[in-house]
Amino acid sequence: MKFDNLLENIEKNSKSEIHYRTSNNSIAKKSFAEFLFDVESLAQKITTLGFGAGDIIGLQAKNSYEWTVLDIATLKLGIVLQVYPEEMVVSCQNVGLKAFVTDRGEPGSFNLTFDWCSVGTAVGINIPSNVPRTKDKDVLSRVYSSGTTGIPKGIEISCRGVESLITTIHECYDITEKDTHIIFLPFSNFQQRMSVYGCLSSGVSFFISNLNTAIQDIKNFGPSFIICPPIFYEIFLLVHIAPADIGNARQLIRAGLGGNIRIMITGMAPIKRSILNRYSELELPIYEVYGTTEIGMIALNIPKANLYGSVGKPIELDSVCLGNDNEIIVKKTWPLSRKYFDAGNGMEDELTSISSGILTGDLGYLQDGYLFLTGRKKDVIITSGGYKFNPFEHEKTLLEIPHLLGCMVLNDHEEDIAALLVLPQGENDQLIGLIKEKIKTINQNSISQKRIINIYATHSRFEDNLHFMTRNMKLNRSAIRDSFLSALYEKEVRGEDSGYWKI
């Protein structure tokens, strides 16, 4: 895949289609030929207003067809989009860029419509001349990481890194113009835009959806390949298979996925082994992959080499090594990102300043050529005695318990190691018995500093609280712990029901 040939490939695959949700939530579609016409028209309007190669334009908006038209039109002109997550508070008056585009009609911004240029001039928006520009043609876009710290980091995306990654993905999974795809996570998550570029380059018809309608749109559109966070594969099972339908489960889940599925990919967060096994039993394998916004894809499972429990083999031979603390370090010919911006703390050149490779912040190990993840370095628990260990190993074991809906191992308000468990509604005496036996086994096999002291439970699934999730549908561990500790305080000090109880 080469961006220099992107418009040519769109024209060559003129009959392929883009399906999308309109502003009133109805479904529409346009051929690649119609899409290319819209891109060319918008590009001409943008040029007329005086924008050109190297200019940086801010964008903050929900997924839409217009979003993609603007994206490709600015790519054509060499303009860099600086994309802000929807949840990020930003004023179009203070971004310091040449223009700011939104879908919310904010004063001082252009509206994300096909006539946004003319609308902008009509209301007298000032287009400054003395603003930052980039002369480096390898800067494709500027985005913000989702992170779990609550402090987003700006990342410059490399054109060559994107080209290399899309080419690799399409080759590994044999993606062709006969395939269909659906995109529902926010475009501010750059992986979704890469899916768009890959589809446009290869002639793959695709659907621009959103989190609210994704389940319905997947069933009706019938994609042949999907890329979903783990929670969605759990939801598919809950939505499409009732306990009474267990004998017909494979047909039901295939129908729920639209009937055409051949490739299902997951990443972004750990997936439960039980979910992988369930889909395997249904002869619908899930391919777990691993990557970061800074580096791109690092390792992946593919049809010819899929080892459950691992995140696959490294894409580039000898590209992955481990630090003394088992942190994963990656050397890549063309990483997805170039450097940080708006990160502060001297991080602007972090990606290029590490001679031994790029530090991922993830912990893991290599076995028989496959990469296994064991947790995040920053999630390491420090006990009151100063001992450090990663909670992932305990959580992985606890999630083997049938019917347990979720868990997190953390320090509680007394700095003891605690297991916070999500139980289903109803009678749970048998489940609690299994939990206590499992924790007893964990503690017997652990040194004293790693033993679970307290057990807490709740009926509230972490995934049901948007505050507990990043826009990539990862658990925000710090937000969950803060809420848990606050709830314990309210219960102990004020006697209020917190939704948590001690087992």
Residue bearing tokens 């589809």: 199
Residue 73 has which token pair? 């039109």
Residue 424 bridge partners (DSSP) = none
What is the three-class DSSP state of 17?
strand
- Same CATH topology for 3-157 and 180-314+338-356: the answer is yes
What is the three-class DSSP state of 190?
helix
436 sits in which H/E element: helix 429-444
Residue by residue, pLDDT tens for the chain (503 residues) are: 899 999 999 999 999 999 999 988 999 999 999 999 999 999 998 888 888 899 988 899 999 999 999 999 999 999 999 999 887 877 665 566 788 888 876 666 677 664 544 434 433 445 556 666 777 889 999 998 755 444 678 899 999 999 999 999 999 999 999 999 999 999 999 999 999 999 999 999 999 999 999 999 999 999 999 999 988 998 898 888 765 566 788 888 999 999 999 999 998 888 888 889 989 989 999 999 999 888 899 999 999 999 998 999 999 888 899 988 889 999 888 888 878 887 655 555 555 445 568 888 888 999 999 999 988 888 888 776 667 788 888 988 898 898 898 899 988 877 788 999 999 988 788 899 999 999 999 999 888 888 999 999 999 888 888 788 876 677 788 888 888 888 876 666 555 666 888 88
CATH 3.30.1490.20 fits 3-157, yes or no: no
Residue 491 has which token pair? 């219960």
Cβ burial of 246 (10 Å; 0-12, 13-18, 19+) is exposed
Which pTM was predicted?
Answer: 0.81
Amino acid identity at 280: S
Residue 478 has which token pair? 């710090």
Please give the sequence-ordered ranges of beta strands (E in DSSP) within 186-260, or none if there are none: 205-208, 225-228
Phi, psi of 274 (to 5 degrees): -65, -35
Residue bearing tokens 């287009």: 127
Give the start-to-end residue ranges of the domains of the chain.
3-157, 180-314+338-356, 380-502
Rounded Cα gap, residues 44 and 48, in angstroms: 6
Which are the contacts of 344, defined by CB distance < 8 A and separation ≥ 6?
none
Phi, psi of 405 (to 5 degrees): -90, -15
Rounded Cα gap, residues 297 and 301, in angstroms: 11
The dihedral built from the CA positions of residue 267, 268, 270 and 273, taken in this order, carries a sign that is negative
Do 404 and 421 touch, CB atoms closer than 8 A? yes
What is the three-class DSSP state of 98?
coil
Amino acid identity at 343: A
Number of C-alpha atoms within 13 angstroms, CB side, residue 127? 19
Cβ burial of 448 (10 Å; 0-12, 13-18, 19+) is exposed
Nearest by Cα to 420 from 502, 311, 324, 297: 502
Instruction: Compute the residue count for the chain.
Output: 503
Nearest by Cα to 43 from 88, 75, 85, 8: 75
- What CATH number does the domain located at 380-502 have? 3.30.300.30
Nearest by Cα to 224 from 263, 197, 198, 266: 263
Nearest by Cα to 488 from 420, 415, 412, 428: 412
Rounded Cα gap, residues 108 and 120, in angstroms: 8
Arch. (CATH architecture) of 180-314+338-356: 3-Layer(aba) Sandwich (3.40)
Residue bearing tokens 């712990």: 481
Do 273 and 399 touch, CB atoms closer than 8 A? yes
